[in-house]
């Protein structure tokens, strides 16, 4: 023993049976760690298979699209080498014709045409109609193509093809923020009448922030009441807070439609009490107001519960101590109680904000024109326009915004300062 | 006492009652005068109403009936923040989001004091509890004893004349608790403040107080100095609650001035000091302190037979459990002096005590 302590006791301390104590401890701990890991394996697998992998695979689409490059094998390498400032060469026209014949045969022309059309509208019919006649074309192909459709002689058609031919591209992310990628690799703003995403992102942020703030304003007093009432009363109140969780989101949203619509309950009451006239009822739904009201109501419990659990841990003696030292009830609340409830506001705020920023059903049902959010647009590109790359790019931008805000929150307030109870 | 001389005591509870549900009185008809500069302890088991009394004085509970007067003025309707009473809480209640210095500055800031005044007062208060270097620390970085000192300093920093303490040492270990008892006592003496102290620890109450109010069941059982309380408990509850005690149950046979002749339940008869056993035929509890029992005969004191059941060595004294008058829970403390008597378990000995040390109390 005396000899071993002289070297390094941490490394050489023997256990009672002669093996090294450190190794022994490691072996004992390993067994319990493995057992703990075994408990989470099913959930871990489910999350990886059903959540992480699909999300990552889909987000890859934001920067990866091989519709053009895989179906147009001849012209793609030429487009990659081509200097967009120069005229396209006869070989490129020849390769294009060969690819058009191929895509017509394997019926991929529709997808390729749609894909290029997203870069330059009007090119869809150019591709499909040319492909129908491509087999009958003869060299020189440049003149032959231009004689069918003069657009083949225009440089912007080839620029669109060059961008569409790039497999890994930032074009979609650029479009998600109302920019466009040019053939020479530069970016420029999209035409004014085509800018919509930035407005949508800003509106989404605005709605999420307002819903979060309203959640704090409305939820704080309720949480305070819950935390300070006798247990029996507060349990009843807590059930009322949790009640919405037992009702479908769809039911709650449609209930708001019945409440807020022109001929709805609220407007009828306004007319009865003379706040509004029958001809000029308030438009409370199918606009931003409707989205705000319905989302605040739906997300309120997510604010109240973390607030409540934090407030529950604040001993009442703090406020009593402040009062005994001469602080008025308001001062005692503001300078002693409130600072200690901030972790709850932080947790509830982040929870509500992140849920709100990706809210979908409610704005879709009650949002109308100016109450729709970015998620509704992502859905549009997923199901209607089938521009999955753009949808993925918008999702990626949303994810980056959320992560940035999360980072910002950590810098300003501190994540450790967040408590869920 | 004060009422007789005409000018009233500093703190007066005048027929105060408290009920939370309108059916049960937690505090029943409380009358208590506390003089300026006094250290009064409210001692009692939990649920005895002592903390409720303190909270009524602080203003966090309202008296259901009766008045509380501070400095001659009724304070029933004055909110706690206008009473100017300092308070130390059981869990210290130091604000975790403020440093020690900010905690102490808080009561001064709400009084809108100047920055330099605040700094000077905070420094003085921290030095008083030997916490001068800790002003920049957070409460969470302090040990329990240090937090306790800060809480004490915070209650004193705004020059309150009356400081209430609600079991402030409850969370400390024994050694630290005893040390802090002396420290609080010294601060009380040096500043001349009035302290109302709540505890359920009788040794703490005996160490610190000028007077102790023993609470039980919402009523003050006895209000007296520590010595008085220990030497001359007024009833069976106080005798039992303060210090260790041997109790013998019996019936009063005859009264003879200060003396009562009591027939114990096993048939023996003893003579005792009549305290509040009432008249003949009343049930009574005889109380004998374990350290007041002598082994062997002494003078012409009446002796009784005892059988040694158990001996426990405790260093400074030896606890001896004996069978006396039919009860085998009779404890005798033998001081571990140079020439103390050595007993063995199972031995039969004679014991005796002064008749005045055997007090006949209520049954």
A105 with A144, same domain?
A: yes
A360 with A255, same domain?
A: yes
Q: Which residues of A touch B110 (CB under 8 A)?
A: 325-328, 331
pLDDT surpasses 70 at A212: yes
pLDDT band, residue B275 (cuts 50/70/90): confident
B155 CA: distance to closest CA in chain A (Å): 7
Contact A318 B154 (CB under 8 A): no
Q: Which residues of B touch A317 (CB under 8 A)?
A: 89-91, 93
Contact A327 B110 (CB under 8 A): yes
A96 with A133, same domain?
A: yes
Entry pTM: 0.80
The reported pLDDT for the residue numbered B328 is 87
A243 CA: distance to closest CA in chain B (Å): 31
Q: Which residues of A touch B79 (CB under 8 A)?
A: 323, 329
Q: Is residue A146 part of a domain?
A: yes
Of A328, A336, A340, which is closest to B81 when you measure between CB atoms?
A328
A151 with A278, same domain?
A: no
Best of A314, A315, A316, A324 to substitute, by most chain B Cβ atoms within 10 angstroms, is: A324
> Tens digit of pLDDT for each residue in B280-295?
888 999 999 999 999 8
The reported pLDDT for the residue numbered A368 is 86
A226 with A163, same domain?
A: no
Q: Which residues of B touch A345 (CB under 8 A)?
A: none
Which residue of A lies nearest to B157 if distances are taken between CA atoms?
A325
Average pLDDT estimate for B201-224: 92
A395-401 long-range CB contacts below 8 Å, 24 or more apart?
A395/A58, A395/A59, A395/A62, A396/A59, A396/A62, A396/A173, A396/A176, A397/A173, A397/A176, A397/A177, A397/A201, A398/A201, A398/A204, A398/A357, A398/A358, A398/A374, A399/A59, A401/A201, A401/A205, A401/A357
Q: Which residues of A touch B158 (CB under 8 A)?
A: 325-326
The reported pLDDT for the residue numbered B299 is 84
A289 with A388, same domain?
A: yes
A333 with A222, same domain?
A: yes
Please tell me the total count of domains within chain A. Answer: 3
pLDDT band, residue A102 (cuts 50/70/90): very high
A37 with A95, same domain?
A: no
Contact A335 B87 (CB under 8 A): no
pLDDT surpasses 60 at B263: yes
A116 with A209, same domain?
A: no
Average pLDDT estimate for A393-406: 92
pLDDT band, residue B341 (cuts 50/70/90): confident
Q: Is residue A202 part of a domain?
A: yes
- State chain A's mean pLDDT as an integer: 89
Q: Which residues of B68-86 are buried (b: 16+ CB within 10 A; e: fewer)?
A: bbbeeeebeeeebbebbbb
pLDDT surpasses 50 at B132: yes
Q: Is residue A339 part of a domain?
A: yes
Q: Is residue A234 part of a domain?
A: yes
Of A317, A326, A329, which is closest to B93 when you measure between CB atoms?
A317
Here the ipTM equals 0.84
Q: Is residue A139 part of a domain?
A: yes
Question: For residues B36 and A6, which has the higher predicted lDDT (pLDDT)?
Answer: B36
> Tens digit of pLDDT for each residue in B76-108?
999 999 999 999 998 899 999 999 999 999 999
Average pLDDT estimate for A369-383: 91
**CATH number of the domain bearing residue A259:** 1.10.3720.10
Range of the domain at A13: 9-47
The reported pLDDT for the residue numbered A345 is 92
d(CA B259, CA B356): 9
A291 with A374, same domain?
A: yes
Q: Is residue A265 part of a domain?
A: yes
A284 with A358, same domain?
A: yes
A330 CA: distance to closest CA in chain B (Å): 11
Q: Is residue A61 part of a domain?
A: no
Nearest CA among B220, B217, B240 for reference residue B230 = B240
Whether A291 and A207 have beta carbons less than 8 Å apart is answered as: yes
pLDDT band, residue B215 (cuts 50/70/90): very high
Q: Is residue A311 part of a domain?
A: yes
Of B83, B93, B111, which is closest to A321 when you measure between CB atoms?
B93
A203 with A255, same domain?
A: yes
- State chain B's mean pLDDT as an integer: 90
> Tens digit of pLDDT for each residue in A279-337?
888 888 899 999 999 999 999 999 999 999 999 999 999 999 999 999 999 999 999 99
């Amino acid at each position: 023993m005396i000899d071993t302590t002289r070297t390094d006791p941490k490394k050489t301390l023997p256990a009672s049976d002669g093996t090294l104590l450190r190794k022994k401890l490691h072996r004992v701990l390993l067994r319990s760690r493995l057992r703990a890991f075994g408990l989470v394996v099913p959930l871990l697998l489910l999350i990886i298979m059903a959540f992480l992998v699909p999300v990552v695979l889909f987000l890859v689409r934001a920067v990866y699209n091989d519709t053009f490059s895989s179906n147009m094998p001849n012209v793609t390498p030429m487009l990659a080498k081509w200097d967009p400032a120069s005229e396209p060469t006869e070989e490129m026209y020849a390769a294009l014709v060969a690819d058009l014949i191929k895509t017509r045969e394997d019926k991929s022309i529709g997808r390729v045409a749609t894909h290029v059309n997203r870069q330059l509208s009007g090119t869809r019919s150019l591709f499909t109609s040319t492909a129908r006649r491509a087999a009958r074309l003869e060299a020189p192909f440049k003149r032959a193509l231009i004689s069918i459709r003069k657009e083949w002689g225009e440089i912007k058609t080839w620029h669109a093809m060059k961008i569409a031919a790039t497999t890994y591209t930032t074009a979609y992310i650029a479009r998600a923020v109302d920019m466009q990628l040019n053939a020479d690799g530069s970016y420029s703003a999209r035409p004014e009448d085509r800018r919509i995403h930035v407005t949508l992102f800003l509106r989404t942020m605005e709605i999420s922030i307002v819903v979060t703030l309203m959640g704090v304003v409305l939820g704080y007093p309720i949480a305070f009441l819950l935390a300070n009432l006798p247990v029996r009363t507060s349990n009843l109140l807590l059930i009322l807070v949790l009640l919405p969780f037992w009702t479908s989101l769809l039911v709650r949203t449609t209930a708001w439609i019945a409440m807020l619509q022109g001929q709805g309950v609220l407007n009828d009451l306004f007319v009865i009490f003379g706040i509004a006239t029958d001809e000029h009822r308030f438009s409370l739904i199918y606009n931003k107001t409707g989205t705000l009201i319905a989302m605040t109501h739906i997300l309120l419990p997510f604010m109240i519960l973390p607030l409540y659990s934090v407030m529950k841990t604040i001993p009442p003696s703090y406020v009593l101590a402040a009062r005994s030292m001469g602080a008025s009830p308001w001062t005692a609340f503001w300078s002693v109680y409130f600072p200690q409830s901030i972790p709850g506001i932080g947790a509830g705020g982040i929870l509500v904000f992140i849920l709100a920023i990706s809210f979908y059903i409610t704005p879709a049902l009650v949002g109308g024109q100016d109450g729709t959010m970015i998620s509704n647009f992502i859905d549009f590109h997923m199901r209607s326009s089938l521009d999955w790359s753009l949808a993925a790019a918008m999702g990626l931008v949303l994810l980056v915004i959320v992560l940035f805000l999360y980072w910002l929150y950590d810098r300003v307030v501190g994540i450790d300062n967040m408590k869920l109870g | 006492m004060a009422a007789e001389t005409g000018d009233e005591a500093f703190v007066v509870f005048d027929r105060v009652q408290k009920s939370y549900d309108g059916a049960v009185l937690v505090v029943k008809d409380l009358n208590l005068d506390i003089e300026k500069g006094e250290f009064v302890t409210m001692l009692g088991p939990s649920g005895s109403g002592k903390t409720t009394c303190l909270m009524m004085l602080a203003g966090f509970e309202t008296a259901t009936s009766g008045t509380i007067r501070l400095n001659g003025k009724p304070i029933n309707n004055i909110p706690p923040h206008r009473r100017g009473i300092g308070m130390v809480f059981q869990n210290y209640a130091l604000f975790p989001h403020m440093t020690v210095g900010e905690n102490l500055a808080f009561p001064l800031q709400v009084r809108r004091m100047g920055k330099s005044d605040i700094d000077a007062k905070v420094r003085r208060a921290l030095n008083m509890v030997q916490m001068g270097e800790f002003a920049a620390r957070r409460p969470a970085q302090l040990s329990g004893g240090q937090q306790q000192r800060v809480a004490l300093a915070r209650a004193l920093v705004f020059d309150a004349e009356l400081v209430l303490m609600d079991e402030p040492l409850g969370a400390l270990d024994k050694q630290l608790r005893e040390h802090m008892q002396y420290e609080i006592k010294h601060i009380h003496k040096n500043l001349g403040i009035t302290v109302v102290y709540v505890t359920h620890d009788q040794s703490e109450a005996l160490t610190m107080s000028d007077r102790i109010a023993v609470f039980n069941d919402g009523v003050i059982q006895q209000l007296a100095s520590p010595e008085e309380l220990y030497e001359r408990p007024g009833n069976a509850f106080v005798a039992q609650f303060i210090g260790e005690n041997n109790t013998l149950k019996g019936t009063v046979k005859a009264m003879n001035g200060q003396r009562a002749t009591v027939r114990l339940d096993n048939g023996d008869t003893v003579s005792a000091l009549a305290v509040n056993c009432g008249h003949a035929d009343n049930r009574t509890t005889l109380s004998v302190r374990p350290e007041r029992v002598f082994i062997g005969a002494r003078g012409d004191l009446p002796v009784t037979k005892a059988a040694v059941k158990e001996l426990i060595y405790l260093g400074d004294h030896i606890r001896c459990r004996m069978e006396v008058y039919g009860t085998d829970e009779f404890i005798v403390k033998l001081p571990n002096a140079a020439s103390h008597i050595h007993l063995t378990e199972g031995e039969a000995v004679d014991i005796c005590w002064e008749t005045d040390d055997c007090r006949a109390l209520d049954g």
